[in-house]
Amino acid sequence: MFTRTRFVTHRLSHVAGRKFGSSYSQIPKLSSLQEFQEQILDSKNGVKVIDFYATWCGPCKAMTPHISKMMQEYPSVDFYKVDVDQAMDVARSCDISAMPTFMLVKDGRITSKVVGANPAALENGIKDTL
């Protein structure tokens, strides 16, 4: 049963990646606390969404097509991603304890977080932050 579940999940994410992956793959990846500070907190212009994810996380993969769609619907919003396994210092400093977690930032100030794979909550968070 577990093997089949993994196969189905892998297959669905592979299909989603082909259809929507190009937008998501273009999201800048933040790899260090210094980079996060410079790009997100020190930048005082606009709305930013940071996707804290893990490569092994099924719900994170399920959010990929939704994020790609939001990138097209909200072109004024800058999207970034942080792999929590590669940038543990960033995840720790932002108190990330579950994946996916989406942090919304406006003009260098953290406005809210959306924890879990909840496309509606993320979109509402973006609308409220704009």
Catalytic residue set:
57, 60
Lookup: tokens for 79: 């999207």
Please state whether 109 falls in left (phi above 0), alpha (psi between -120 and 50) or beta: beta
Lookup: tokens for 62: 């399920």
d(CA 49, CA 63): 13
C-beta of residue 65 within 8 angstroms of C-beta of residue 17: no
Number of Cβ atoms within 10 Å of the Cβ of 46: 14
